[in-house]
Amino acid sequence: MAAFDPRFALISVPLFLAYNRRRLRRAALGAASVVLASNFAFLVPGVAPGFVPMMLGSGITTPIYFYGFIPLLTVVCLTALNAREIASLFSKKQAQPRG
């Protein structure tokens, strides 16, 4: 759901790393496959060279619509619920498993 908007996908990177820390290579390959499959149209000759300058050169910014807050709030809530695990992932000393 975070890939609904690329801005949200960037926010969800810590969750991705925390959830997939033991199988990061497989998860990264899967994520790259999904990105490639969802952007397959850009591989068609003539599409990307026209689309990229249009989007970046028009000066139009895309506002966040109300339905866009659904994946954002989901990512924020999951990040809050998993804050301890995310912090332990980025700390130098690995946290001991719970339980």
Q: 82 is in which domain, residue-wise?
A: 2-90
Residue 98 domain-assigned (yes or no): no
Q: Are 43 and 35 in contact (CB under 8 A)?
A: no
Residue 97 domain-assigned (yes or no): no
Instruction: Say how far apart CA 15 and CA 17 lie, in whole Å.
Output: 5
Give the chain's domain count. Answer: 1
Question: What pLDDT score was predicted for residue 25?
Answer: 95
Calculate the average pLDDT of the chain.
Answer: 81
Residue 95 domain-assigned (yes or no): no
Question: What pLDDT score was predicted for residue 77?
Answer: 93
User: Full-prediction pTM beyond 0.75?
Assistant: no
